[in-house]
Amino acid sequence: MESDLPWLLVLDQNKIDQQNLQILGCTLNPVSPITNVLPLCIVLFVSLKRFQNDKAINNSSVDVLHGQMWERIPWKKLQVGDIVKVEQDGLFPADLLFLASTNADGVCYIETANLDGETNLKIRKAREDTWDYVTAEKASEFKGEIQCEQPNNSLYTFTGNLIIEEQTLALGPNQLLLRGCSLRNTKHVIGVIIFTGHETKVMMNSMNVPSKRSTLEKKLDKLILAIFIVLFCMCLIGAVGSGLFLDPKYYYLALRDPGISLDMDPNHRFLVVILNMFTLITLYSPIIPISLYVSVEMIKFVQSSQYINNDLNMYHAETNTPALARTSNLNEELGQVEYILSDKTGTLTRNLMEFFKCSIGGEIYGTGFTEIELGGAERNGIKIDEACKLTSFGKWSCVQKSSNAVHEKGFNFDDARLMQGSWRNQPNPDMCKEFFRCLAICHTVLPEGEESPEKIRYQAASPDEAALVTAAKNFGFFFYRRTPTSIYVRESHVEKMGGVQDVPYEILNVLEFNSTRKRQSVVCRYANGRLVLYCKGADTMIYERLAHGETDVKLITREHLEQFGAAGLRTLCLAYKDLSSTAYEDWNQKFIQAKSSLLDREKKLDEVAELIENDLTLIGCTAIEDKLQEGVPSCIETLSRAGIKIWVLTGDKMETAINIAYACRLINNDMKQFLISSETDEIREVENRGDQVEVARFMRDVVKNQLEKCHEEAQNYLHSASEQKLALVIDGKCLILKCSSVVCCRVSPLQKAQVTSLVRKGADKITLSIGDGANDVSMIQAAHVGVGISGLEGMQAVMASDFAIAQFRFLTDLLLVHGRWSYLRLCKVVTYFFYKNLTFTLTQFWYTFQTGYSGQRFYDDWFQSLYNVIFTALPVMVVGLFEKDVSALLSKKYPELYSDGIKNTFFKGRVVVTLVLSSLYQSIVVYNFIISSSSNSINPSGKMFGIWDVSTTAFNCLVVTVNLRLLMMSDTITRWHQISVGGSILAWYIFVCVYSAIPDSMGIYYAFYSLLCTAYFYVTLLLIPVAALLGDFLLQGVQRWFFPYDYQIVQEIHRHRPENAKTGLPLLESGKQLSRSGSTRFILPQLSRERSSTHSSHTGFAFDSPGYESFFASQEGISAPQKAWDVARKASMTPRTKISHKD
Hey, which residues are catalytic here? 343
Identify the H or E element spanning 730: strand 726-730
Q: Are 565 and 656 in contact (CB under 8 A)?
A: yes
Q: State how far the alpha carbon of 330 is from the alpha carbons of 13, 322, 749, in Å.
A: 20, 19, 24
Q: 21-26: long-range contacts (C-beta < 8 A, 24 or more apart)?
A: 21/281, 21/285, 21/288, 22/282, 22/285, 24/278, 25/278, 25/279, 25/281, 25/282, 25/285, 26/282
Q: Are 299 and 828 in contact (CB under 8 A)?
A: no
Q: What is the DSSP letter of 814?
A: I
What sign does the CA torsion over 883, 889, 892, 893 have?
A: negative
What sign does the CA torsion over 685, 687, 690, 694 have?
A: positive
Q: Are 328 and 303 in contact (CB under 8 A)?
A: yes
Among the residues of 642-691, which ranges form H helices? 654-663, 681-687
**How many other C-beta atoms lie within 10 A of the C-beta of residue 1083?**
13
**Rounded to whole angstroms, how far apart are CA atoms 491 and 722?**
64
Q: State how far the alpha carbon of 1009 is from the alpha carbons of 57, 227, 413, 940, in Å.
A: 57, 37, 88, 10
For the chain, the distance separating the N- and C-terminal CA atoms, rounded to the nearest angstrom, is 61
Report the phi/psi class of residue 783: left, alpha or beta, with left for phi > 0 and alpha for psi in -120 to 50: beta
Exposure string over 938-961, b if 16+ CB within 10 A, otherwise e: ebeeeeebeebbbbbbbbbbbbbb
Q: Are 98 and 108 in contact (CB under 8 A)?
A: yes
Exposure string over 509-526, b if 16+ CB within 10 A, otherwise e: bebebeeebebbbbbbbe
CA angle 45, 46, 48 (to 5 degrees): 65
**Rounded to whole angstroms, how far apart are CA atoms 495 and 430?**
12
Q: Are 756 and 769 in contact (CB under 8 A)?
A: yes
Helices (H) and strands (E) in the chain, counts: 38, 38
- Residue 707's nearest CA partner among 729, 685, 724 is 729
Report the phi/psi class of residue 922: left, alpha or beta, with left for phi > 0 and alpha for psi in -120 to 50: alpha
Radius of gyration of the chain from its Cα atoms, rounded to whole angstroms: 37
What sign does the CA torsion over 572, 578, 582, 585 have?
A: positive
Q: What is the DSSP letter of 326?
A: S
Q: Are 590 and 608 in contact (CB under 8 A)?
A: yes
Q: 733-739: long-range contacts (C-beta < 8 A, 24 or more apart)?
A: 733/758, 734/647, 734/758, 734/759, 735/707, 735/711, 736/674, 736/707, 736/710, 736/711, 737/762, 737/763, 738/714, 739/645, 739/674, 739/714
Which residue(s) pair with 628 in the sheet?
349
Among the residues of 214-314, which ranges form H helices? 215-245, 269-283, 290-302
**Rounded to whole angstroms, how far apart are CA atoms 514 and 516?**
5
Q: State how far the alpha carbon of 294 is from the alpha carbons of 298, 551, 1073, 1122, in Å.
A: 6, 71, 38, 43
**Rounded to whole angstroms, how far apart are CA atoms 660 and 348?**
9
